[in-house]
Chain A
């Protein structure tokens, strides 16, 4: 079983739609959860960073962590064509420094 699983998509939505991106994980030691956005052939750009369970909102983005289900989500409201990218979830335990990434979900927002 993979430590982090993420549906690679591709996911295609119309402009203005609400997008839901998800990851599941198997390692209960993960305590820090991140979402990165990666444009083609570029470096991952940090979008959201959360610790343990709960919700965090930043503008059009909301991150949710459900540790009991080992499930994290990223919601994008009022999606824009500029949101078209690959979205990576990443996780880290408290005992180490390495991030473990999902495979990434490729999102296209159509005008």
Chain B
């Protein structure tokens, strides 16, 4: 069964460093998403992406964040200068269409020291 994959599974970084989180969405899906979950809190939407453009973003997704589809299979989330409060689980998701279900990857656990 097709699934969303994410790398790395864990990342530890120093405050102020840049990190890139990678995702491979399900192959026939055209809509891509990033969510995050701070430990003990609810899953929060960050951004949605379609046709090489951001289609929607939340107030969390500020200038420190960017997304990119560098090739036909990968989808990335970049955090330019990490802060302590960026420590969270980051989930990538994909869907065939905006009204279709979103399928989530296993997540990348980011720890900012």
Interface residues of A (CB under 8 A from B): 32, 34, 36, 41-46, 49, 51, 88, 90, 94, 96-104
Contacts and interface: CB of A to CB of B under 8 A. Distances in A.
Most B CB atoms within 10 A — which of A32, A46, A99? A99
Nearest to B103: A46
B42 A103 contact: yes
B48 A97 contact: yes
Given A43-B105, A43-B106, A46-B104, 12 more contacts: A34-B101, A43-B104, A44-B43, A44-B104, A88-B43, A90-B43, A97-B33, A97-B98, A99-B33, A99-B45, A100-B45, A104-B42
A100 B104 CA distance: 14
Interface residues of B, number: 25
SS of B interface (majority): strand
